[in-house]
Structure formats: C-alpha cells, structure tokens
Structure 1
Amino acid sequence: MELGVIGLGRMGRIVVDRCLDAGHDVVAFDIDEAAVADAADAGAAPADSIPDVADQLGEEKRIWLMVPAGDPVDAALDELDGLVDGDDVVVDGGNSNFRDSMRRAEQTDAAYLDCGTSGGPAGAELGFSLMIGGPEWAYEAMTPVFDAVATGPDGHDRMGPAGSGHYVKMVHNGVEYALMQTYGEGFELLANGRFDLDLESVARTWNNGAVIRSWLLELCEEAFAEEGSDLGTVADRVEGGSTGTWTVQEALEQEVPVPLIYQALAERFASRSTDGDDPGRFSRRLASRLRYGFGRHEVPRREE
C-alpha cells in the first residue's frame, strides 16, 4: 500500500519506519526539512508540501496525520481541501479531542478515521495500540497499514463511529493517570515507611508474577535503577493533563463517578504550585519520571 505521512516527529517517524519495514510505500512530509531528509534516507519518498503529498499518491489516497492536536490538524485538513474525495482516507493519529474528530469527520471530503495511539517511543520496536473510529470500509481499507503500525492484528480495532477512537484513547489516558498515581502513592509509602528498602528490587520482584505487574511498573523499576530509590533530582512537577481534563469533564456530563482519575488529575495541577527546589511529593515525582519512560517527555529537575 502507498501511504502519505504528514508530521515526522517521534510518533510520525515510527509510523513511517514501521510501514517501510512492512513493505509499504511512504510519501513523507514535515515542516522540518531535516526530518523529511532523514525519512527519505530511510526509504520514504520526500514531499515538500501537503499538496505535494496528495499529488504523489495514487487515485485512492491514504494519508496519516501525526501532527499536534488542535489547530495544526485543522490547518493540514484545510490544505487537503479539494485534493481528497470520498474514495480517500485520512487518519488523525494524534491526541485530538473526540468532539473535534466528530466535527472534522463531517467537514472532511475524505473518509476520516480518528486513531487513538498508545505505546510511546516503545512503539518503534513493539508497535502501537490503535483505537480507531470512523467508517468501517475505511478502517478495512487501512488494515494493512494498521497491522504494520500496531503490534499486529490484535493491536488495533474499530471502536465505532467517528469520534469513538479518540474517545476511547481519552479514557485510556484517564486510566493511565490513575494508575501512575496509585503506583506513586504505594512507592511513596515504601520510601517513607519503617524499612530502608531498595525500590528497584521491590519493583523488579513485583514485576515477576505479582498481581500488580505491568509495563508502568516496569518503568518504575527502570526509574529507580537510573535515578535511585530517592529519585535523585526529579522534581515534584507533573506536566500534561489535557486528556485527563477531558475525561473528567465527560464523566461529569455523563454523571459517571471517576474519583481516582479526578484525584490523579488534581495532583498534577497541585504539583505546578510547588517550589521547584522543594523535594515535594514522592508520588508526583515518580509520575513525572514515568512520563519520560513511556513518552520520552522532558523530566523537570530541581537543584540539589
């Protein structure tokens, strides 16, 4: 299959590389010319603009947007206006708000698939988990690419109509917040409790057969191995929060109680009002380090 990829940041480049490795042809564009050149060196056909991507693709265009959520998505779609039609498919692989995805599906001439993407940089090797909303025919048409980008056929599915993919990803991120907060609180008690514990050893032991083993717990083990049981200079500041905020807002509208997700979100907001040099809450420091583990987000540091 021939695929156009617009946006060659960490996640977009993984899409390109995994598609190339699976034998698909890729036309790649980014506003960063160096990123386009690197993708071309890897085997993609370079494009110098979004219209050029559309020009290089065949009659049935398959385009994957991996640009920041919000205005950049609308800007890319504006540039595709008139260049795609009802036989074409556009995938939005970013963390868009599901309401925006529903609107874009109505306004875009091509079939629009909202694709919630989870897995972070680890997806380069393992593949992503893809939660997809939109027309069934468009999902089926893109299945060979989804098989390549995801962990395999079991790593993606159509969740339902337009907006449902990003809706499921929104809730996924809310669950992620709560899990990170739970691990953080448990390790905070261990760190400040009555025994002098090696937290890397604790995490490693839990990761081998315990009920609470998980990838996030593996990242806790990695954090303690690299930072030490006291988490070194990791600051009490947790960035992010948009998808968690959307989750809580939707829960309020649907009158569904989500106290754990709400509290995890509140802890993130509270972390931004602390003194950067104050060691602060261990649980929030661990959550910040976990964000690096799965997403390679910058870790705020404090002065020792």
Structure 2
Amino acid sequence: MQLGVVGLGRMGRIVVDRVLAAGHDVVAYDLDPEATAAAVESGAMAADSIGDVCDRLDDEVGESADGDDAADAEGKRIWMMVPAGDAVDTTLSRLEPHLTDRDVVVDGGNSHFSDSVRRAESCPAAYLDCGTSGGPAGADLGFSLMVGGPEWAYEAMTPVFDAVATGPEGHDRMGPAGSGHYVKMVHNGVEYALMQAYGEGFELLHRGEYDLDLESVARTWNNGAVIRSWLLELCEEAFREEGTDLGDVADRVEGGSTGTWTVQEALEQEVPMPLVYQALAERFGSRDDRFARRLANRLRYGFGRHEVQRTE
C-alpha cells in the first residue's frame, strides 16, 4: 500500500517509520524541510507540498492499476498528523482539490469530535477520525487507535492500522464520523483522573508518617498489585530520575483541552464525572505548590515527552 503522511512531528514520524517497517510505501511531507529530509533517510519518498503528495500518490495508484485505466485502481490514502484546530482545516483545504470519493483521509490528531463530524460532511474523500494513544513509546510498541467513519474506508486502511497500532487488536472502528475522536476525548479524561489519583496517593506517602523511597513503592505496587499500570511504571521512572521529592519539577501541569471537552460533554449529557472534573480543576489551579501536580507534570513527560515545567 502507498500512504501519504502530512505532518512529521514526533507522532507523524512514528506513523511513517512503522508503516515503512511493515513493508508499505510512504510519501512524506512537512512544512519543515528538515523533517521531510529525516523521513526520507528512513526510506520515505519526499514531497515538497501537499499537492505534490497527492500527485505522487496518483502516480503510484496509476502504476498499480490493472491495464491502462487508472480509474480502476484504489484511491489515495492520506494520514494527517497535524495539530488540532486551524492546522487541520488548512491542510484539508489544500488536499480537497486533489481528492475524490475513492480516497481516504485520516485525521490522527486530537481534534474535537464535532469538528471531525463537520469535516467528514464536507470532505470529498472518506474521512476517518482516528484517536491515537501511546505517545512516543508507540515507536516500539505501536499505538492504540480509535477510529470513526465509513466502514469501507476503515477496512481499506486496515493494513496501515495494523502497522501503526500494536497489531490487529490495537485498533477498531468505533462507529460513524466523530466517534473515534469522541472515544479518545473520554480516554483523555480518564487519563487525567488516573494521574490525579496516583499524584494524591504519592503526595500522602511523601508527606506522611514514614520516610519512604517512592521509587521502591511504585516498583512494588507495579508487581502484582491491583493498581499496577503503565502510568505507575512512569511514576517509578519519575522518582528514579528526579528523586523522591521530584527535585526541581514545578507544580504546574500544562494541557487541559481534551479534559475540558470531556467535562463539557458530561454536562451536556448530564453524566456525573466528579473525578475528571476535579483533575481538570487541579490543572487549572496549579498555582500553589502541590506534590500531586508536580508528579502529574513529570508523568506528562513520561508518556508523551511533553516538556517538564521546572522551578527557576
């Protein structure tokens, strides 16, 4: 299969590398020529514009068609991995003149599900909203992919999803347009609450009656305890690398958009989500020094390699 990838940041490069490793061909483009050049070094074909991505995919599709009529070939397959918001709409506006109803476009970023519904309705191609979880660790392990959109388009992209995800069990079609990003939105709300719970537990251990080695606690909990998880492994990593008191990790937790969307949707649907709301409020209120928020700050680096905010 030939795949066009637009957006070659951390996550986009992982998509490129895993698709190439599975034996597929990639046409890669990024606004930063150095990012495109790095993808070429991994085996991708360079494009110098979004239009060029489509032209090169058209060439490949035409060559793979039976006989002389390229119209019988499958359409273009394009994966966007650009920041949510205006960047997605701008990328789409540049893609749309080159798209037909045989083509498939995947939005692998953290778009709001309502934006994905709007884009699916106006896009000439089949539009798949693909919630993507796993962070930079996905380079080796693969991602978890939550996909919304037409079933035929999902099935057409299955070889690529198998490559990018942890395997066939690491992706599924959630439902119609918007459902993939809806599920990812709720996933992120759950993530906020889990981070807050670990943070509060370790804060009590840190300030409690005993002088504890929190790296040791995290390691012990993560070997057979009910609350073992990857986030708990990242707690162990944080205490090992920063120290039990978290060193100069600041009490400031960035992010918040997907958690806000989750809480807004919960209010709309009249579903109580007090834990997610409180975790979101803690992020917005990260002004007074709290050990729990300092750990959440460091955990965001662990799973997403987001910058660690540090004290002056």
The whole-number CA distance in structure 1 between the counterparts of 2:92 and 2:55 is 15
Query: What amino acid is the match of 2:28?
Result: A
Counterpart pick for 2:76 among 57, 61, 69: 61
What amino acid sits opposite 2:3 in the alignment? L
Aligned to 2:182: 167
Is structure 2 residue 33 aligned with structure 1 residue 33?
Answer: yes
Q: Give, in angstroms, the shift of residue 81 of structure 1.
A: 1.5
The DSSP-based 3-state class of the residue aligned with 1:63 is strand
Using the alignment, how far apart are the partners of 2:216 and 2:201 within structure 1? 14
Mapping 1:10-29, distance limit 5 Å: 10-29=10-29
Work out the number of aligned pairs and report it: 297
Structure 2, unaligned stretches of length 5 or more?
A: 62-74
Query: Which residue in 2 is equivalent to 1:277?
Result: none
Which deviates further from its counterpart, 57-66 or 71-80?
57-66
Q: Partners of 2:260 and 2:96 in 1: how far apart?
A: 31
Moved over 2 A (4+): none
Letter matched to residue 282 of structure 1? F
Point out where structure 1 has 5 or more consecutive residues left out of the alignment: 275-279
Q: CA deviation at 1:239?
A: 0.1
Normalising by the residue count of structure 1, what TM-score does the alignment of the two structures yield?
0.97
RMSD: 0.6
1:69-105 alpha-carbon deviations (Å, 9 max, x no partner): 0000000000011201110000000000000000000
Does the residue aligned with 2:285 lie in a helix, a strand or coil? helix
Per the alignment, residue 211 of structure 1 pairs with 226
Partner of 1:82, secondary structure, is helix
The CA deviation string for residues 136-189 of structure 1, in whole angstroms up to 9 with x for no partner, is: 000000000000000000000000000000000000000000000000000000
Choose which of 174, 191, 210 in structure 1 pairs with 2:206.
Answer: 191
3-state DSSP of counterpart to 1:194: coil
- Deviation, structure 1 residue 222: 0.2
Distance 2:189 2:245 in 1: 27
2:32 aligned partner, one-letter code: D
Q: CA deviation at 1:282?
A: 0.3
The whole-number CA distance in structure 2 between the counterparts of 1:194 and 1:37 is 55
Percentage of identical aligned residues:
79
- Per-residue CA deviation, residues 239-259 of structure 1 (Å, 9 max, x unaligned), is 000000000000000000000
Residue identity in the other structure for 1:49 = S
Match of 2:290 among 278, 281, 291: 281
Code of the aligned partner of 1:257: P
2:49 counterpart letter in structure 1: S
Superposed CA deviations along residues 216-275 of structure 1, whole A, max 9, x for unmatched, are 00000000000000000000000000000000000000000000000000000000x34x
Q: Following the alignment from structure 2 to structure 1, what is the Cα–Cα distance between the partners of residues 56 and 97?
A: 15
- Give TM-score scaled by structure 2 length: 0.95
The worse-fitting range, judged by mean Cα deviation, of 136-145 and 74-83 is 74-83
